[in-house]
């Protein structure tokens, strides 16, 4: 046998065993909107500011009280919540089921990568805007602190496999993007359909395998 190969396989198995000991909390994203300050004011009024509804696990991120209607070529979806704070781009994240209902074919993207994504009409209590791009399906991803990433031997931008769910709905999601930042907390982000497919609730555990 090739000793070098055996050594590499054993090292890989050890790494996988180590990673799979660390539970990663699951955070489930319902459809939501991120706003620039300018776009927010256009739909909620010049004097409005987003109001905290619920703090999220990612430090500084929150679900806001503010909700909008998004209108696609086919249907409108009401009560789509803003996630704050403001961003440098306005972005609408929906599930594939939502996209089919709206009549759109958004790409699967990491947040902020909006090239060639479809636009949509966003309506709030004080006005409507038509964004020319910004609708995406969120690419499955894990947020890591640099410390978590170092411990789990993960580099920013790499993709991993994640095992999650329980019993009849146990599922392995492949191609899960790893994002590392001082600003993050360890969390796997899935959309509602991905979470339901695996029978997951917010805060359940997933494992990198």
Whether 92 contacts 75, CB under 8 Å = no
Q: Which of 14, 153, 175, 183 is the binder for a copy of itself (CB under 8 A)?
A: 175
Where do runs of H (alpha helix) occur along the chain? Answer: 3-19, 37-44, 96-102, 146-151, 192-197
**C-alpha span between 140 and 12 (Å, rounded):** 23
Lookup result for tokens 């690419």: 139
Q: 94 or 120: whose CB is closer to a copy of itself?
A: 94
Count of positions on this chain that bind a copy of itself (CB under 8 A): 22
Where do runs of H (alpha helix) occur along 66-160? Answer: 96-102, 146-151
User: Helix, strand or coil for residue 8?
Assistant: helix
Q: Which stretch binds a copy of itself (CB under 8 A): 18-26, 43-51, 72-80, 161-169?
A: 161-169
Closest CB 30 distance from a copy of itself, rounded Å: 10
**Structural tokens at position 140:** 């499955």
Residue 3 vs residues 9, 15, 28: alpha-carbon distances, Å: 10, 18, 44
Q: Which stretch binds a copy of itself (CB under 8 A): 6-14, 70-78, 122-130, 170-178?
A: 170-178
Q: How many other C-beta atoms can be found within 10 angstroms of the C-beta atom of residue 176?
A: 22
Q: Which of 6, 10, 75, 108 is the binder for a copy of itself (CB under 8 A)?
A: 108
Q: Which of 36, 69, 171, 205 is the binder for a copy of itself (CB under 8 A)?
A: 171
Q: Which of 57, 62, 193, 205 is the binder for a copy of itself (CB under 8 A)?
A: 193
Closest CB 22 distance from a copy of itself, rounded Å: 20
**Per-residue x/- track, 80-99, a copy of itself (CB under 8 A):** ---------------xxx--
Note the residues at the interface with a copy of itself (CB under 8 A).
95-97, 108, 139-140, 167-175, 192-194, 196-199
């Amino acid at each position: 046998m090739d000793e070098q190969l055996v050594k590499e396989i054993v090292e890989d198995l050890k790494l996988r065993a180590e990673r799979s000991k660390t539970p990663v909390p699951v955070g489930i994203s319902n459809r939501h909107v991120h706003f620039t300050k300018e776009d927010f004011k256009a739909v909620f009024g010049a004097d409005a500011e987003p109001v905290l509804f619920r703090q999220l696990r990612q430090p500084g991120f929150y679900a806001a009280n503010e909700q909008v209607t998004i209108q696609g070529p086919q249907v409108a979806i009401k009560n789509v919540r803003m996630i704050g704070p403001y961003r440098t781009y306005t972005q609408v994240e929906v599930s594939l089921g939502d996209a089919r209902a709206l009549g759109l074919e958004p790409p699967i993207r990491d947040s902020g990568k909006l090239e060639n994504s479809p636009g949509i009409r966003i309506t709030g209590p004080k006005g409507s805007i038509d964004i020319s791009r910004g609708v995406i399906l969120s690419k499955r991803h894990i947020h890591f602190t640099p410390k978590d990433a170092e411990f789990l031997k993960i580099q920013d931008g790499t993709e991993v496999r994640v095992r999650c769910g329980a019993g009849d709905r146990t599922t392995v999601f492949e191609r899960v993007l790893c994002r590392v930042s001082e600003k993050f907390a360890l969390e796997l982000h899935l959309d509602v359909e991905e979470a339901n497919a695996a029978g997951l609730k917010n805060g359940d555990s997933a494992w990198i395998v």
